[in-house]
Amino acid sequence: MSAWIRDRAVRRAALVLELPAQDICTAEVAMFTEMPVSELSQYRPDLAVPDDLDRFWQTTLAEVAEHPLDVVAEPVRDTPLRSVIVYDVTFSGFGGHRISAWYLVPRQLDRPAPTVIEYIGYGGGRGLPQEWLFWSAAGYPHLIMDTRGQGSAWRSGDTVDGGSAGLPHVPGFLTDGLPDRDRYYYRRLFADAVRAVDAATELPFCDPDRLVTTGISQGGALALAAASLHPNVARTMPSVPFLCNIKRSAQVATLGPYRELVQWCEVQHTKVDAAFATLAYFDLAILARSARCPALFGISLRDEKCPPSGGYACFNQYGGPKQMLAYEWNGHEGGEAFRLGHQADWLAAWLA
């Protein structure tokens, strides 16, 4: 057996710590070297909250609401899938720009059901419907939002970013628009994520009172953003979330998109302070304090792209009821199929 295969087998055998809100962690486990779990479970960094944080997001979402949502859902006829109905969805996001999505509905549904709204990791797009079968196979209508301007790094996408700032930035998206908060890329993307929640409520078989956001990495950040900014999100399930405790994460991460921010700071010396002042409006360790719905976090203790201290900084200050799944041996893949099983169990317990 090759070393790669042995390593892969070990990483799949993740220890899962189910941590209730009032008993976050009692175990010491071998983990990512940045901080012991006993410290992570109590880690609440003193992050400066912008004085006008609420006003900024209220103004942003009011600006977006000026554009009609205009949800269009076209059934997809040419598909090999037989157990789900597939819709090709578009709706208006930030700036009225058209955002693509897939919507998969189990064929056996005969009434509105809890609906899972999923966001995608950094560089990926919505791809093909057959890449998203878990939640519909589990019985849930499932909306997958495409990511504006992304979708060429590892899964294809279809949504153009009509609002690119055009400012000098490191290739990628994390520094696009810095240090201008109004032109920053994630202002547009967070607004799209909120509009996806609105779009879901207009789709067939969606129960508007039982909306669940989820995603991995960047998708986890968007799931948290939607839960923090939209009052009708009933549950959220962020895994290995990006954009949490951003400055420290950029200092600690050895792989992934935080390196873009490091590279930008290496060059843009005179703009660094202004950039981090802008990033505070998008830091989920700050923004998610306003969330109120129950959350199931997933953190990998050997994650070199989204360090666990970022996820725990967000978890420990999250504003609603919360539970943690800590995967001892996993990296940024975040528990993979095990994670999906744990999330499905969590939703089933809620619905029961």
pLDDT tens digits, one per residue of 235-256: 999 999 999 999 999 999 999 9
**Does residue 14 register a pLDDT over 60?**
no
Mean pLDDT of 184-197: 98
d(CA 281, CA 93): 19
Q: What percent of the chain has pLDDT over 90?
A: 81
Q: According to the model, what pLDDT value does residue 6 have?
A: 35
Catalytic residues: 217, 303, 332
Q: According to the model, what pLDDT value does residue 160 have?
A: 87
Closest CA to 311 of 229, 218, 243: 243
Residue 209 phi, psi (nearest 5): -95, -5
d(CA 54, CA 181): 14
Q: According to the model, what pLDDT value does residue 29 have?
A: 38
- Evaluate whether 205 touches 111 at the Cβ level (below 8 Å): yes
Query: What is the tens place of the pLDDT at every residue in 155-184?
Result: 988 898 887 767 778 889 999 999 999 999
- Evaluate whether 320 touches 291 at the Cβ level (below 8 Å): yes
Q: According to the model, what pLDDT value does residue 33 have?
A: 52
Query: What is the tens place of the pLDDT at every residue in 276-296?
Result: 999 999 999 999 999 999 999
State pTM to two decimals: 0.90
Query: What is the tens place of the pLDDT at every residue in 119-167?
Result: 999 999 999 999 999 999 999 999 999 999 998 888 988 898 887 767 7
Strand, helix or coil at 17?
Answer: strand
d(CA 258, CA 264): 10
Looking at per-residue pLDDT, the higher value among 2 and 294 belongs to 294
**Does residue 199 register a pLDDT over 80?**
yes
